[in-house]
């Protein structure tokens, strides 16, 4: 992706979301633009109109953290949006000073991480990268996402391709639009943090070409980080599940994330997880007998 175009689209979209009233600016007469004018953002941020105009046209190279924070306050960005602005600025800097990460091969998954996943016998858990490739999972994690893996459990499997391109995804996610839109916003964060990852850019390009909803939500410039929350599933064997998820980032050569799902015991979803564990064991037995 072109960094200047990304910066231009992001800043102009955020500016359009802030009304003069929200910014505490008197609005007189008719306005030709949605939200704030560039001069109003510049005044709120304490920079010249010419300088802000240069920034919004896509040239963030050399912008200091204090200026970026002032722009973020003027545009009323939340923490995630502010961090995204800083990532875009770092990506606009000289290529020689950027941290480079190898993305052309699958990361090494340490045996200890696999043991930790396997030890989580009571909850579904899996390991993913910033491209949302599922790299490993425990028995319950594979069972929960069985519609994604189908009969072929070879990993990695990309959950974004499943969400937007698999015809079973909308049945699997009762809140598909919410899941899909937050996924697009998370990919935008990943793209700003990993501007040299050609596989990620290829994924975004593929989804943009093949999915109209993806194209529309990508153009909205929203950003989102999956940290914790609640997600609903409609599992083909278990039925409705409403599970809490937690995402734990692992530091290393390539950032990986462990995602776990849980539910309160003795609730419908808690009972559903117990059924899922029993179903997973049954499926494992079926697979073992088929291989005899």
End-to-end CA distance of the chain: 49
Domains in the chain: boundaries: 3-97, 111-290
pTM of the model: 0.86
- Give the model's pLDDT for residue 138: 94
- Give the model's pLDDT for residue 152: 62
- Give the model's pLDDT for residue 104: 56
- Give the model's pLDDT for residue 151: 62
Distance CA 220, CA 185 (A): 9
* In the block, residue with structure tokens 């359009």: 16
- Tell me the per-residue pLDDT of 197-215, one tens digit each, with 9 for 90 and over: 999 999 999 999 999 999 9
250-256 long-range CB contacts below 8 Å, 24 or more apart?
Answer: 250/113, 252/107, 253/101, 253/102, 253/107, 253/108, 254/101, 254/102, 254/103, 254/107, 254/129, 254/130, 255/129, 255/130, 256/107, 256/109, 256/113, 256/127, 256/128, 256/129, 256/135
Superfamily of domain 3-97: lambda repressor-like DNA-binding domains (1.10.260.40)
- Give the model's pLDDT for residue 166: 95
CATH topology of domain 111-290: Beta-Lactamase (3.30.450)
* Residue 54 token pair: 């240069």
Q: Are 3 and 90 in contact (CB under 8 A)?
A: no
Q: Which residues contact 38 (CB under 8 A, 6 or more apart)?
A: 15, 49, 52, 53, 56
Per-run averaged pLDDT (10 residues), the chain, 292 residues: 90 94 82 86 96 94 94 96 94 60 66 91 93 94 91 81 96 97 96 92 97 96 92 96 95 84 96 95 57 39
- Give the model's pLDDT for residue 255: 81
Distance CA 37, CA 196 (A): 33
């Amino acid at each position: 992706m072109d960094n200047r175009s990304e910066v231009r689209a992001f800043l102009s979209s955020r500016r359009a979301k802030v009304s003069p009233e929200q910014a505490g600016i008197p609005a007189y007469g008719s306005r030709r633009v949605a939200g704030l004018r560039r001069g109003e953002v510049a005044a709120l941020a304490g920079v010249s109109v010419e300088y802000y105009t240069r920034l919004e046209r896509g040239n963030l190279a050399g912008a200091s953290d204090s200026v970026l924070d002032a722009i973020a306050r003027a545009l009323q960005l939340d923490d995630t949006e502010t961090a995204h602005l800083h990532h875009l600025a770092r990506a606009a800097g000289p290529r020689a000073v950027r941290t480079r990460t190898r993305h052309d091969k699958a990361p090494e998954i340490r045996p200890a991480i696999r043991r930790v996943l396997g030890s989580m016998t009571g909850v579904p858990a899996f390991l993913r990268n910033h491209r949302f490739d599922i790299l490993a999972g425990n028995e319950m994690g594979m069972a929960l996402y069985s519609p994604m893996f189908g009969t072929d459990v070879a990993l990695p499997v990309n959950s974004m391709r499943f969400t937007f391109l698999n015809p079973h995804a909308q049945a699997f996610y009762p809140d598909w639009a919410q899941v899909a839109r937050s996924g697009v916003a998370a990919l935008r964060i990943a793209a700003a943090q990993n501007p040299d990852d050609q596989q990620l850019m290829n994924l975004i390009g593929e989804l943009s070409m093949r999915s109209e909803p993806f194209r529309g939500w990508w153009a909205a410039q929203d950003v989102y980080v999956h940290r914790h929350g609640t997600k609903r599933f409609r599992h083909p064997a278990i039925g409705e599940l409403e599970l809490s998820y937690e995402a734990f980032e692992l530091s290393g050569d390539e950032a990986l994330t462990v995602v776990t799902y849980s539910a309160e015991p003795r609730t419908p979803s808690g009972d559903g997880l117990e059924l899922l564990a029993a179903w997973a064991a049954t499926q494992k037995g079926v697979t073992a007998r088929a291989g005899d």
